[in-house]
C-alpha cells in the first residue's frame, strides 16, 4: 500500500512543478522521462544490488575512519579539555569524549583539505566531467548545467558554480535556474561525511542512502527545474561538456592549507547557524507555548507541532509508513525553514524518532540537501560575485530554485521509497 502511495507522491510532486511552470507547452517530455528513469536506475543500483550496496557501505566505513583521523588533529588542539564520555563519565577530550563542535569541525576541515588535494591533481575535475558527459548523453541538457549539477554532489553550492564560471554570464535563465536548483538539492561532500558519521553514532547505516541522494539529486533537479522553467532560448553549451578549470593552488601543500582554511570557514558557519537557529527555535517555541496556554493550559504548541501538520500530506504521499508520517513531516519542515543540519541532528540524536527502516530511508534522502531559505541568500551572494551582471536574475530565480531543489529531494526520496 505504501508503495502505491509513493506513486501518488510522484504525481503530486510533478503536478506541483507543472502548476508552477511558466511555459507548460514548452516542457520537454523526453528530458523529464529520461531524468526519472536515470533517478530510478541510480536508486536500484545503489540500494537494491547487493554488491553495489556493500561497496557504498564500505565507503561509509571509510568515512568513519576519516572522522577517526580528524579526531587525531582535534585531540592535539583540544587535548586537556574535560569532556563527557559515552558512558557518562568526564575525562580528557583526547581520551574519547565527544564535543559536537570539536568533532564536527575537525571532520569538515579534513575532508575539505582532501577535496582540495583531489582538485589540485585534477582527479575531481575528471570524475565530474565523466559523469556530466553521461548525464548530457542521457538527458540532452546543456554542458554547463550538467557540469554544475554533477559538481554540486561533490563540492559546495557556490564552489560548483566556479566550475562553470566562464559560462555564467551567457547562460539562459532556464540554465541558471537548473544550476541553482541542483546546488540546493545536493549537499557538499564534507557535510555528507558528517551526516553519515552522525547516523553511525546513532546506529543508522546512512552511507548508501545519502550517496544515493546525492547522485539522484542531479537528474532530479534538472527534471523539476525544466518543468518549472522550460528551455526556450539557445544555449551556448548545448551538447558540449568541457571542464577546463585549472588548479588555483601552487602545490599540494598550498592546496592543503587553503582546503583546511576553507573547511574552518564552513565549520564556523555551521556552528554559528546552529547556535543562532536553535536559540531562536527555543524562543519561538516558548512564545507559542505561552500563547497556546492562554486558550488551553494543557496544550504545548511548538514549531514541531506546526511542521508536523503542514508537511503531513507530503510525508504521507511520499510513502512513509503511518507510524512515522508525523515525525517525518516535522523533519521536512525543519529542513526547509531552518536548515538541514538541525533536521539531521534531531534525526541522529532521536529527539524526533523514526521507527521504520523505510521511514528512515525516505526522510534521510528528503532532507539531504541545502534547500532552505538561508541557502538561497548564500547562492545569490556567492554566484553574484562570480557573475555580477546576473544578480538581478539570481534574485528573481532564488525562490523558484528553493522550490525546485526541495521538490527534487522529495522526488528522489519517493522513488527510493517505492523500490524499497
Range of lowest pLDDT (12-16, 97-101, 226-230, 337-341) = 97-101
Evaluate whether residue 136 is within a structural domain.
Answer: yes
What confidence score (pLDDT) does residue 240 get? 59
Give me Rg for the CA atoms of the chain: 21
Evaluate whether residue 213 is within a structural domain.
Answer: yes
Evaluate whether residue 394 is within a structural domain.
Answer: yes
More confident residue, 138 or 364: 364
Evaluate whether residue 410 is within a structural domain.
Answer: yes
- Chain segment 154-202, per-residue pLDDT in tens: 766 766 776 676 677 788 888 889 888 988 888 877 778 778 877 777 7
Copy the grid coordinates of residue 270: 555551521
What confidence score (pLDDT) does residue 313 get? 93
Mean pLDDT of 42-50: 88
- Chain segment 277-302, per-residue pLDDT in tens: 778 888 988 999 999 998 888 888 88
Range of lowest pLDDT (17-31, 73-87, 276-290, 399-413) = 73-87
What confidence score (pLDDT) does residue 244 get? 60
What confidence score (pLDDT) does residue 332 get? 92
pLDDT at 354 over 60: yes
Q: Does an H or E element contain 177, and which?
A: helix 173-185
- Count of domains observed in the chain: 1
Mean pLDDT of the chain: 82
Copy the grid coordinates of residue 398: 532564488
What confidence score (pLDDT) does residue 366 get? 92
Evaluate whether residue 114 is within a structural domain.
Answer: no
The domain of 183 spans 2-63+125-190+200-419
- What one-character-per-residue DSSP string does 236-295 give? TTBT----------SSHHHHHHHHHHHHHHHHHHHHHHHHHHHHHHHHHHHHHHHHHHHH
Cβ neighbour number for residue 362 with a 10 Å cutoff:
33
CB 320, CB 413: distance < 8 Å: no
What confidence score (pLDDT) does residue 188 get? 75
- Chain segment 92-122, per-residue pLDDT in tens: 666 666 676 777 788 778 878 887 888 888 8
What confidence score (pLDDT) does residue 96 get? 63
What is this structure's pTM?
0.84
Evaluate whether residue 79 is within a structural domain.
Answer: no
Mean pLDDT of 400-408: 92
Nearest to 259 by CA among 269, 271, 248, 243: 248
What confidence score (pLDDT) does residue 312 get? 92
How far apart, in whole angstroms, are the C-alpha atoms of residue 21 and residue 228?
A: 4
Mean pLDDT of 352-372: 89
More confident residue, 16 or 101: 16
More confident residue, 237 or 336: 336
Evaluate whether residue 89 is within a structural domain.
Answer: no
Evaluate whether residue 353 is within a structural domain.
Answer: yes
Amino acid at each position: 500500500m505504501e508503495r502505491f502511495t509513493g506513486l501518488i507522491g510522484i504525481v503530486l510532486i510533478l503536478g506541483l512543478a507543472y502548476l508552477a511552470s511558466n511555459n507548460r507547452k514548452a516542457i520537454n517530455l523526453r528530458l523529464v522521462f529520461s531524468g526519472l528513469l536515470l533517478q530510478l536506475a541510480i536508486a536500484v543500483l545503489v540500494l537494491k544490488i547487493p554488491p553495489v550496496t556493500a561497496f557504498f557501505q564500505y565507503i561509509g566505513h571509510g568515512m568513519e575512519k576519516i572522522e577517526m583521523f580528524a579526531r587525531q588533529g582535534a585531540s592535539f588542539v583540544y587535548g586537556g579539555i574535560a569532556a563527557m564520555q559515552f558512558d557518562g563519565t568526564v575525562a580528557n577530550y583526547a581520551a574519547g569524549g565527544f564535543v559536537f563542535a570539536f568533532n564536527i569541525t575537525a571532520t569538515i576541515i579534513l575532508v575539505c583539505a582532501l577535496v582540495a588535494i583531489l582538485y589540485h591533481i585534477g582527479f575531481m575535475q575528471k570524475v565530474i566531467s565523466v559523469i556530466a558527459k553521461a548525464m548530457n548523453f542521457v538527458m540532452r541538457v546543456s554542458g554547463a548545467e550538467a557540469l554544475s549539477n554533477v559538481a554540486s554532489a561533490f563540492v559546495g553550492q557556490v564552489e560548483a558554480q566556479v566550475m562553470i564560471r566562464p559560462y555564467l554570464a551567457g547562460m539562459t535563465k532556464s540554465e541558471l535556474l537548473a544550476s541553482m536548483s541542483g546546488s540546493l538539492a545536493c549537499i557538499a561532500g564534507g557535510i555528507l561525511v558528517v551526516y553519515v558519521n552522525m547516523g553511525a553514532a546513532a546506529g543508522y547505516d546512512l552511507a548508501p542512502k545519502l550517496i544515493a541522494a546525492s547522485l539522484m539529486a542531479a537528474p532530479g533537479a534538472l527534471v523539476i527545474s525544466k518543468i518549472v522553467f522550460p528551455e526556450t532560448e539557445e544555449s551556448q553549451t548545448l551538447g558540449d561538456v568541457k571542464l577546463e578549470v585549472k588548479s588555483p593552488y601552487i602545490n599540494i601543500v598550498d592546496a592543503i592549507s587553503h582546503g583546511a582554511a576553507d573547511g574552518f570557514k564552513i565549520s564556523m558557519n555551521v556552528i554559528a547557524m546552529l547556535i543562532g537557529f536553535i536559540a531562536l527555535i527555543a524562543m519561538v517555541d516558548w512564545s507559542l507555548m505561552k500563547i497556546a496556554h492562554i486558550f488551553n493550559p494543557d496544550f504545548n504548541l511548538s514549531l514541531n507541532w506546526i511542521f508536523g501538520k503542514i508537511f503531513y500530506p507530503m510525508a504521507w504521499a511520499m510513502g512513509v509508513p503511518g507510524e512515522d508520517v508525523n515525525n517525518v513531516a516535522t523533519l521536512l519542515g525543519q529542513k526547509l525553514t531552518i536548515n538541514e543540519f538541525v533536521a539531521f541532528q534531531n534525526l541522529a540524536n532521536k529527539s524526533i524518532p523514526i521507527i521504520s527502516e523505510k521511514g528512515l530511508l525516505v526522510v534521510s534522502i528528503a532532507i539531504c540537501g541545502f534547500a532552505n531559505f538561508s541557502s538561497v541568500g548564500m547562492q545569490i551572494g556567492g554566484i553574484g560575485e562570480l557573475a555580477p551582471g546576473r544578480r538581478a536574475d539570481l534574485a528573481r530565480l532564488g525562490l523558484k530554485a528553493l522550490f525546485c531543489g526541495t521538490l527534487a529531494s522529495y522526488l528522489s526520496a519517493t522513488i527510493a521509497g517505492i523500490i524499497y
